[in-house]
Structure 1
C-alpha cells in the first residue's frame, strides 16, 4: 500500500468536438490505450495461470514468466506467499508444500521471494531459456 495522488477531470474536455488536435489530447488517449492494453495482458496471463490443473503447473508457468521478464533464471517475484497463492487461486499451504517438493527434487531454489530455476527445470515449451 502506498500513498496515491488522484487526478480527476471531465473527459469531455479532452475530447471536445470529437476531434484530436491538441498534443495533450493525443498523449492522453495514447496513455489510456496503453494502460488498458497492459491491464488486459495481466488479466489474460492471470487467467491462463489459473486454468492449469495442478499447482505445480501453475507455479511453473508463473515462475517461468517471471524468469523471462527478469531475463535470468535468478529473479525476485513481487508477491509474498499468500499473495502468490491468491494470484494462482490455490491454497497457500498446498502451494508451499509443492514448492518444497520442487526444491527437494532439485528443480529450484528459493528464499522468501527470491527464486532460482535450476538447469534441471525446463521452461515451458513456448518460451525459450533467457540464458541461451
Structure 2
C-alpha cells in the first residue's frame, strides 16, 4: 500500500493530504485493491456504483453499446485517474455504460463511507471532489455535443482538424487503430472504412495503416465551418 499511496498523493483529489495522513486513512476496511486483465469487464452497464475508483496501473475505457452492436467510446482513463465520483452519491447510481480494462489494470476501490468521511472532514478534499465530478460531467456533455446530428464524415473531419492543430501537420499520425477510432466516433468499423474510402475518392484525404493525409487543409476548414 505504501507504493500506491505515493501515486494517490499526486492526484488532485488527494494532494491536500500528507503521506502520513493517507496511510492512516486507508485502513483495510475502507478499500480493496483488485487486478483486471486486459479486455475484462470492470463494470457492466446498469451495475451499481458503490466505490470511488483510483486507477493505480493500466487504463480503462468507457463504452456504450447499442442494440445493433455499435460501440461508442466515451472516454479512456489512465493511471492516476479517478472514476465514479459522478455516480457515487446519485439517487440512481447505476453505471450508464460499460467500463472495460483497456490493458492489464490495477484499481484501488475506495468505499463510499470513506469518501463521505473525507468530504465531511476536509473542505479542500470536498472542493477537489466537486471539481472532479464537474469535469466528468463536462466530458460527457462535450461528447454528446460533438455527436449530435453529425454525419460520419463530419465527425472524421472534426477529428482530423483537431489532430492537425495538435500535431502541426497535415500528415496525421494515428495513435489508435481504425477500429478504436470508429468506436470513438460511435459507428461500426465497416461504416467508418466506407466513409474513409469515399473521402479518398472525393480527393479530401489519403491514408495507410498508420497515417491519414489531409489533401487540402483550407477546404477542410471550410467544410468544418459549414457543419
In the aligned structure 2, how far is the partner of 1:32 from the partner of 1:60? Answer: 34
Asked whether the equivalents of residues 52 and 58 of structure 1 are also in contact (C-alpha less than 8 Å), the reply is no
Runs of 4+ in 1 over 4 A off after TM superposition: none
Structure 1 residue 36 displacement after superposition: 4.6
Q: Structure 1 residues 110, 43: CA separation in 2 closer, same or farther (over 3 Å shift)? A: farther
Instruction: Report what 1:11 is aligned to.
Output: 115
Task: Provide structure 1 residue ranges, at least 5 long, that are not aligned to the other structure.
Answer: 127-132
Listed as ranges, the matches of 1:4-43 within 5 Å are: 4-9=105-110, 10-17=114-121, 19-20=122-123, 25-26=124-125, 29-30=127-128, 33-34=131-132, 36-37=134-135, 39-43=136-140
In the aligned structure 2, how far is the partner of 1:71 from the partner of 1:42? Answer: 24
Task: Provide structure 2 residue ranges, at least 5 long, that are not aligned to the other structure.
Answer: 1-101
Listed as ranges, the matches of 1:86-101 within 5 Å are: 86-101=183-198
Please give the TM-score of this superposition, normalised by the length of structure 1.
0.64
Please give the TM-score of this superposition, normalised by the length of structure 2.
0.42
Listed as ranges, the matches of 1:1-132 within 5 Å are: 1-9=102-110, 10-17=114-121, 19-20=122-123, 25-26=124-125, 29-30=127-128, 33-34=131-132, 36-37=134-135, 39-119=136-216, 121-123=219-221, 124-125=224-225
Structure 1 residue 96 displacement after superposition: 0.9
Q: 1:73-129 deviations in whole A, cap 9, x for unaligned?
A: 333344322332233233322321221121233212222242222225322229xxx
SS at structure 2 position matched to 1:7? strand
Which structure: greater strand fraction?
2
Q: How many residues get paired? A: 119
